[in-house]
Structure 1
C-alpha cells in the first residue's frame, strides 16, 4: 500500500511539472486542477488508481515440477512466479531438494520435523521462500 501511495504521488508530481512548478505556483489562492495520469484534488478521501503489477516469471525445475503436479491451483503463470521467487531465494541444490516435495509431499513433513542441523537450516530457508512466494504470487 505504501508503494502504491508513493507511486501515485510521483506520478502526480510528474503530471504537474514537478516540485519547482508547484513551488512557483504556491502563491496562488485557488487550488489548481492537476492534469496527468492521476489527478488528486483536495478532499476528505483521496483515491489512487494504479495498473496491476505484473508478477515475475521464470522457467526452471520448480516451475516444471509445479506444472506437472496434480494440484488444482497450478497454472503457467503461478508456476513461473514460484520459480522466479525461487531463483531469488534458493540456490540450485535447494531448488532440486524442493522439487522432491512436489513428487512426495510427505518428504517435506519429514524435513520440517527433522532434528538434523542441515535439515533445520534448509527448512528455515525453504519456509522463508514459501512465504515470499505466497505474498508475491497470490
Structure 2
C-alpha cells in the first residue's frame, strides 16, 4: 500500500510539472527569467490566485512583447482599465511572494 501511495504521489507531482500554466511557460521562455523554473512557478501560482484564464493569456503576451503592456495600460477601453488594475495587484503580489 505504501508503495502504491508513493507511486501515486510521484505521478501527481510529475503531472503538475508537465502542465505548466500560461504565465509559467511565457516566463520560462523570456530572456529576463533565464529559465528559472522556481521563480516562474511561483509567478504562475500567484497568477492562479489573482487572474482568471483570460487575464493570464493577456498577461503572458507581455513576456513576449513588453510594449503590449504599455498599449493596454494607456488604452481608453474600460475592459483594459479593469484588467490593468488586476494586473497591477498581480504584479505587486508576485513581487512580494516570489522574492
Q: Note the 1:5-20 alignment, pairs <5 A.
A: none
Aligned to 1:45: none
Matched, 1:93 2:54: yes
Higher helix share: 2
The 2-side partners of 1:76 and 1:132 are apart by 18
**Structure with more contact order per residue of length (Cα contacts < 8 Å, sep ≥ 6):** 2
The total of aligned residue pairs comes to 82
Residue pair 2:72, 2:80 contacting (<8 A) in 1 also: yes
The 2-side partners of 1:96 and 1:122 are apart by 12
Which of 84, 100, 104 is the matching residue for 2:45?
Answer: 84
Name segments (4+ residues, structure 1) moved above 3 Å. none
The 2-side partners of 1:80 and 1:115 are apart by 32
Unaligned runs of 5+ residues in structure 1 are 1-56
- Larger Rg over CA atoms: 1
- Normalised by the length of structure 2, the TM-score is 0.77
Question: Over residues 51-99 of structure 1, what are the superposed CA-to-partner deviations in whole Å (9 max), with x where a residue is unaligned?
Answer: xxxxxx9931110110011115651100000000000000000000111
